[in-house]
């Protein structure tokens, strides 16, 4: 089951952005989002799955590649604007769906109020990695990538393997410090 909104951290606790708004921007595998002094620290106490911080009686987690593959299997993705945000709408039934805002991404070189590529694309980390995430290793992380819309009002969205490394942001488009939104899931 997908969370009702993107994951947020307010400096003290985790919650969901229930109005289909934006959540916080998390570096891959880090407990704290962009803007928190611990966000880019590789100290083991700052690493892990931030979705486990939701304390509502359920066990939430960051999605896996398999979760995103199941989402992609729902079929065409409609471009929608909800609460002033553009994004991808996955229809789950005749009257329901899941909305993923195209929130762009952040890195440690842009301002806190200015995500890169917002409204045009979105990148959502999974917890699935392949290989080692070290310089020159060829390791990668799987993510849901939403591209721009086409003339028919559909948004491209696919599960992609993103090559990763630990080079400084700016030297590789997909350094581990790239921060994205996270939509948590839980098993039924």
Instruction: Give φ, ψ of 53 to 5 degrees.
Output: -75, -10
Domain encompassing residue 88 = 7-180
**What is the chain's pLDDT, residue by residue, as a tens digit (188 residues)?**
999 999 999 999 999 997 667 899 998 888 999 889 898 888 899 999 999 999 898 999 999 999 999 988 887 788 888 888 888 888 888 788 888 888 877 776 655 556 666 667 788 888 887 765 555 555 677 778 777 666 656 566 777 776 665 444 444 445 566 788 999 999 88
Let me know if residue 37 belongs to a domain.
yes
Query: CA 34, 38, 41: angle at the middle one, nearest 5?
Result: 100
The pLDDT value recorded for residue 114 is 64
> For residue 92, which of 19, 173, 1, 8 has the smallest C-alpha distance?
1
Question: What does the radius of gyration of the chain's CA atoms come to, in whole angstroms?
Answer: 16
In order of 36, 138, 160, the CA distances from 42 in angstroms are 13, 20, 25
Let me know if residue 187 belongs to a domain.
no
Let me know if residue 88 belongs to a domain.
yes
Let me know if residue 186 belongs to a domain.
no
In total, how many domains does the chain have? 1
Let me know if residue 2 belongs to a domain.
no
Let me know if residue 135 belongs to a domain.
yes
Strands (E), 57-184: 78-82, 85-91, 97-101, 122-130, 140-149, 155-163, 179-180
Let me know if residue 69 belongs to a domain.
yes
Let me know if residue 53 belongs to a domain.
yes
Name residue, tokens 């604007």: 81
- Distance CA(17)–CA(9), nearest Å, equals 10
Tokens coding 94: 């005749």
- Distance CA(96)–CA(98), nearest Å, equals 7
């Amino acid at each position: 089951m997908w969370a009702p909104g993107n994951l947020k951290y307010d400096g003290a606790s985790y919650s969901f952005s229930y109005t289909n708004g934006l959540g916080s921007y998390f570096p891959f595998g880090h407990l704290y989002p962009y803007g928190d002094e611990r966000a880019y620290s590789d100290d083991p106490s700052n690493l892990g799955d931030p979705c486990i911080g939701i304390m509502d009686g359920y066990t939430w987690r960051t999605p896996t590649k398999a979760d995103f593959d199941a989402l992609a299997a729902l079929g065409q993705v409609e471009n929608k604007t909800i609460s002033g945000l553009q994004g991808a709408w996955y229809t789950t039934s005749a009257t329901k769906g899941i909305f993923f805002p195209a929130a762009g991404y952040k890195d440690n070189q842009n301002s806190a109020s200015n995500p890169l590529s917002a409204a045009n694309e979105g990148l959502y980390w999974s917890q699935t990695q392949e290989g080692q995430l070290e310089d020159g290793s060829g390791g990668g992380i799987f993510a849901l990538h939403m591209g721009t819309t086409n003339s028919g009002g559909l948004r491209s969205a696919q599960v992609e393997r993103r090559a990763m490394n630990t080079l400084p942001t700016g030297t590789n488009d997909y350094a581990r410090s790239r921060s994205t939104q996270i939509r948590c899931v839980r098993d039924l």
